[in-house]
Amino acid sequence: MKRGVVISLHFGYWVLYFLLLSLILVCLQLGSPIKGQPFFYQWRFHVFFSTFAILPALLGFYSFYFLLFDLFLMRRKIVLLFVIGFLTATGCGLISEVIMSVLHTFKVGPGVFHEGARTTLSLLVVITIIAVLNGAVALIMRGFMRWYSEIKLKEALMQKNFEMELALVKSQISPHFLFNTLNNIDVLIVKNAPQASAYLNQLSDIMRFMLYETKSEEIPLSRELSYLEKYVALQKIRTSNPDFACFRVEGAVGEATIAPMVLIPFVENAFKHADARKQGNVIDVLVEVSSDVIVFDCVNKRRLQPSTTEYGGLGNELIKRRLSLLYPNRHQLEIVSSEEDYRVRLRISRHEA
């Protein structure tokens, strides 16, 4: 937990404690003989009362907060915590009584050691209770702060692990796509050099996008769609079927934004499991954009022979987790797998829920 937050919690607690003491002090004054007495007499009473109520609270709170929590509670030594805690609180009470007796030397408040054993013992019990109560609050506060810090640490570790897994998936997919595309372009150079050059430029744009723009939290939707369009065009090199893959965008993209690389894993998965020898439309990708929502549909026909790799797999699990982090309560993902085809439909709201 940040230092500023910790200081604010301590400050807030003591402000509330002092307000409570002030209220008690006012109530005591209303029904006590000191009401209407000279200022000096009232001042002596205030000093005595503050020593009686504040000093054991401070001693109890911070001895429990800094010492007992780490030495006993964190080590699960509960019995020792109660024993040492009681002795510590009693010690705080004795210290407070000694200080009050010293103040009595300067005519500030009564000297408790001169009021009889019963009065001294009663006062010690009350002061010890004050120390114990504040010590208990200290343990609760310290425990809460530690629990909160552990929760934040776990979230940070989960996020870091997620980013590493996502980077691993990217590193596995990108070289595979790159090598296949370069091989396809290499074959095309002999047949159609200008077309091969155009594809190389598209590949360069794709690699630039993956290297630089994927580091941003959000990018213009137009850039993501441009990436998808070039990716589909490069994948179509491997087939002579002009209708093998279809990519369409409907609606005005305008100023819409999206997290980078949200849509591409589903398209990559479609090409991974598509049969390039099939005739007609095998892969259909449609992106619909409105003022309220972005709808992504991707459908690919299954191979006649079952694939040796599982549909979706780790990539789909990662993208689901990523969507949950990026668009909580703002997205709907539907994945339907049948014997004939595999369908993905993703809806992303453009506005906060």
Indicate which CATH number applies to the domain containing 269. Answer: 3.30.565.10
CA distance 30 to 346: 70
The structural domain count of the chain equals 2
Mean pLDDT for the stretch of residues 273-288: 85
Helix, strand, coil in percent for the chain, rounding step 5: 65, 10, 20
Q: What Rg, from alpha-carbon coordinates, does the chain have?
A: 36
The reply to whether 184 falls in a domain is: no
Whether the per-residue pLDDT at 105 is higher than 80: the answer is no
Cβ count within 10 A of residue 205: 14
Report the residue count for the chain: 353
pTM score of the predicted model: 0.56
Summary count for the chain: helices (H), strands (E): 9, 7
Residues 125-131 have a mean pLDDT of 85
Q: Is 180 part of a structural domain of the chain?
A: no
Domain contains 68 = yes
Select the more confidently predicted residue: 230 or 98: 230
Verify that 332 and 206 share a domain, yes or no.
yes
Percent above pLDDT 70 for the chain: 79
Asked if residues 198 and 230 have their Cβ atoms less than 8 Å apart, the reply is: no
Average pLDDT over residues 258-284: 85
33-42, 120-129, 172-181, 289-298: least confidently modelled range: 33-42
What is the extent of the structural domain holding 256?
192-349
Is residue 277 a part of any domain in this protein?
yes
In this structure, is residue 176 part of a structural domain? no
Are 58 and 199 in the same domain?
A: no
Lowest mean pLDDT: which of 5-14, 23-32, 131-140, 199-208?
23-32
Q: Among 97, 129, 153, give the residue marking a domain's end.
A: 153
pLDDT at residue 251, as a whole number:
93
Shared-domain flag, residues 9 and 130: yes
Residues 36 and 139 in one domain: yes
127 and 276 in a single domain? The answer is no
Looking at the structure, do residues 263 and 148 belong to the same domain, yes or no?
Answer: no
Q: Which candidate, 189, 257, 184, 198, places its Cα nearest to that of 225?
A: 257
Has residue 104 been placed in a domain?
yes
d(CA 280, CA 20): 80
Task: Looking at the structure, tell me whether residues 199 and 342 fall in a common domain.
Answer: yes
The reply to whether 149 and 196 lie within a common domain is no
39 falls in which pLDDT band (50, 70, 90)?
very low
- Using CA atoms, how far apart are residues 270 and 116, in angstroms rounded to an integer? 90
Planar angle of CA 302, 305, 311, nearest 5 degrees: 50
Q: Are residues 345 and 198 in the same domain?
A: yes
Based on the fold, state whether residues 58 and 141 are members of the same structural domain.
Answer: yes
Q: The tokens 């004050």 sit on which residue?
A: 130
Q: Does pLDDT of 77 surpass 70?
A: yes
* Closest CA relative to residue 126, chosen from 55, 25, 44: 55
> Within a domain: residue 142?
yes
pLDDT for res 61: 92
Cβ–Cβ contacts within 10 Å for residue 172, how many? 11
Backbone angles phi, psi at 349, to 5 degrees: -75, 140
Q: Is the pLDDT of residue 304 over 70?
A: no
Q: How many CB atoms lie under 10 A from the CB of residue 141?
A: 18
Flag whether 293 is in a domain.
yes
